[in-house]
Amino acid sequence: MSYEIPLPMPDELAKKPIRNAHEIHKHLIENGFEPIAVVVDNANAKINVYFDHELNDEKKKKLFEAVLDYYKKHIGITKTE
């Protein structure tokens, strides 16, 4: 099952593209997910996350929040720990 997460502020992403999908994959694992793969599409400002099963609504919401949390840290909106 795949989930497409659109990223806000594509102009910021254009200035600082995500170059390593492995870092997002690692971030998701740290947040309790077990994705099969993560694909970053900088040109279209979206991230696709693939799982071997469908997520329930609560987990989908948490997935979107986790990806956006990583993204905000990446472009410098929030501080990294």
Assess contact for 74 and 15: CB atoms under 8 A: no
For residue 3, the SS3 value is strand
In the chain, what are the domain boundaries?
A: 2-75
Query: Model pTM?
Result: 0.90
Q: Tokens representing 27?
A: 């971030």
Q: pLDDT tens across 50-64, in order? A: 999 999 999 999 999
**Domain 2-75 classified CATH 3.30.70?**
yes
Q: Tens digits of per-residue pLDDT, 7-28?
A: 999 999 999 999 999 999 999 9
